[in-house]
Structure 1
Amino acid sequence: MPNSLLFHKAYHHQASSEWVVFIHGAGGSSSIWFKQLKAYRQYFNVLLVDLRGHGRSAETTSGQAGESYTFRGVSGDVIDVMDRLNITQAHIVAMSLGTLIGHTMAQYHPHRIKSMVLGGAILSFDCRTRCLISLGDWFKNLVPYMLLYRLFAYIVMPTARQRESRWLFIREAKKLCQSEFKRWFHLTRYVNPMMTTYRSCMPRIPTLYLMGDKDYLFLEPVKRWAQQQPMSELVELSDCGHVCNIESPQRFNHHSIEFIHQHITRVRESRVTS
């Protein structure tokens, strides 16, 4: 359990009792949601968090014990903030590696999650990605971490259309220190075995996967996963890459907000009929 709460900011809606918790990816911060915030605040209470070592949480959570750096430990950080704010249940909206935090929360705290919207989801690493990670693991103690991060950013987001996404993530990653980068990089080795375990016992939580059709590293595993999970849906955003909430914010907002509203409506109708 962390020594201090994550940096967070809550926006309260005058009429809605529904909460949406936004979870960014590795190297980012809650600032990546600037194209979602206005749209979501029209309908929901919104909670933004900076994960440990990221953004403004870097001031209070950097250097925590290495053994606490697990996906379960990091997801527990988010639950701690929800507890502090008395948020008993929420809809999770996550991007990139943050989707693994969402999946872990669903695994260990299913009663706290009403639905999930997972953009640019990472469910497994193929041979290409594992080779890149192995290469990065080999060089992480030899070269500045920002050089590695820039390289990975260009590999994951290679096109001119993804320039804004690259720039934003590189800018935010500069707030990480080398040791913090290594801790998060270390987590990547657990992705494949963790998600293999989750696949067989995933709780029945309505989940929307929003993926760019040009997300060449991560789209195919999500296609297979969505077909196997009965409460999962996949929407592919055309001419869009990995960080689809930035590259195509209007479509991301439309599909994700509509999905959450549909879930809320179904729950209300089921209560009436019961």
Structure 2
Amino acid sequence: MSDTLLFHKTYRHPSSKEWVVFVHGAGGSSSVWFKQIKAYKQHFNLLLLDLRGHGRSNNMFRDMMKNPYSFKSVTLDILDLLNHLKIQSAHFVGVSLGTIIIRNLAELAPERVKTLIMGGAVTRLDARSQFLVQLGNFCKHVIPYMWLYSLFAYIVMPQKTQKESRLLFIREAKKLCQKEFKRWFKLAADVNPLMGYFKEKEIPIPTLYLMGSNDYMFIKPVKEMVKEHKHSYLTEFENCGHVCNVERPDEFNEHSIQFIQQHQSSL
């Protein structure tokens, strides 16, 4: 595999021409989708990828290490991969920070995006979230990054029912090096300006938000956005937290697959 491409894995369907691309969040990897693969591959072609610096993409991009990360550069990595695989358009499924990346992809190349599935979507950092980011930014040079990441994971996913998700993300984050963590951490400062723009400018792409009712840091701004956007829909899972594809995989798969199937014929 080229060292200029993201690590990826494909599952090809014997007859379907539809592609679904899965994009994980910061600190995760494509392994967070292990509860989606079996259900999805019955209907679609699948592309799972590890974002730069994550999972098995962690030893790539030597030339990029000197340059600051941006949501645009991370998004262009995915477009390069789509071009390499000759995937002209696809349905995109993201979780957590991955939802910002796929929304940005829809902004940069709307012709490549058929639908968006936004799991545990991050659409705005509230005052509490911004304080945590500022605190982490202040401490990131003196505190081991895994301490910081574990703290953030616990704050975002504090309940017992979220333990599996929390431990999964902490385990995957251990594959990041300290410098890589800092590069991704800096992206958090760009979330509110970018999402403020996205809120003002709706794109005519069918978008399904799948949120846990206990995702207390992020669900409120999602509800506000869905009310304002004509092409956006929200399904809320009761007694569920941030990483709803892990906590409620059956419901997540059912609603998202149905949404894609409802819209694929008209696109």
- State TM-score, norm by structure 1: 0.95
1:34 maps to which residue? 34
- Describe how 1:170-209 pairs up with structure 2 within 5 A: 170-209=170-209
1:19 maps to which residue? 19
2:10 maps to which residue? 10
Q: What is the DSSP-based 3-state SS (H/G/I as helix, E as strand, rest coil) of the residue aligned with 1:266?
A: coil
Q: Deviations over 1:223-257 (max 9, x none)?
A: 00111111000000111000000000000000000
1:10, 1:47 within 8 Å by CA — same for their partners in 2? Answer: yes
Root-mean-square deviation over aligned CA pairs: 1.3
Query: Among the aligned pairs, what percent are the same residue?
Result: 53
Give the AA of the match of 1:264: Q
Aligned residue pairs, count = 266
- Describe how 1:66-145 pairs up with structure 2 within 5 A: 66-145=66-145
Q: What is the DSSP-based 3-state SS (H/G/I as helix, E as strand, rest coil) of the residue aligned with 2:266?
A: helix
2:95, 2:243 within 8 Å by CA — same for their partners in 1? Answer: yes
Unaligned runs of 5+ in 2: none
Q: What is the DSSP-based 3-state SS (H/G/I as helix, E as strand, rest coil) of the residue aligned with 1:21?
A: strand
Unaligned runs of 5+ in 1: 268-274
Give the AA of the match of 2:185: F
Distance 1:97 1:141 in 2: 22
2:9, 2:47 within 8 Å by CA — same for their partners in 1? Answer: yes
Q: How far did 1:177 drift?
A: 0.2
2:147 maps to which residue? 147
Give the AA of the match of 1:15: S
1:245 maps to which residue? 245
The answer to whether residue 33 in structure 2 is matched with residue 49 in structure 1 is no
Distance 2:137 2:201 in 1: 30
Distance 1:94 1:190 in 2: 18
The answer to whether residue 250 in structure 2 is matched with residue 259 in structure 1 is no
Q: What is the DSSP-based 3-state SS (H/G/I as helix, E as strand, rest coil) of the residue aligned with 2:211?
A: strand
- State TM-score, norm by structure 2: 0.97
Q: What is the DSSP-based 3-state SS (H/G/I as helix, E as strand, rest coil) of the residue aligned with 1:171?
A: helix
Q: How far did 1:174 drift?
A: 0.2
Give the AA of the match of 2:159: T
2:68, 2:183 within 8 Å by CA — same for their partners in 1? Answer: no
1:271 maps to which residue? none
Q: Deviations over 1:92-114 (max 9, x none)?
A: 00000000101100111100000
- Structure 1 residues 27 and 139, CA, compared in 2 at 3 Å: closer, same or farther? same
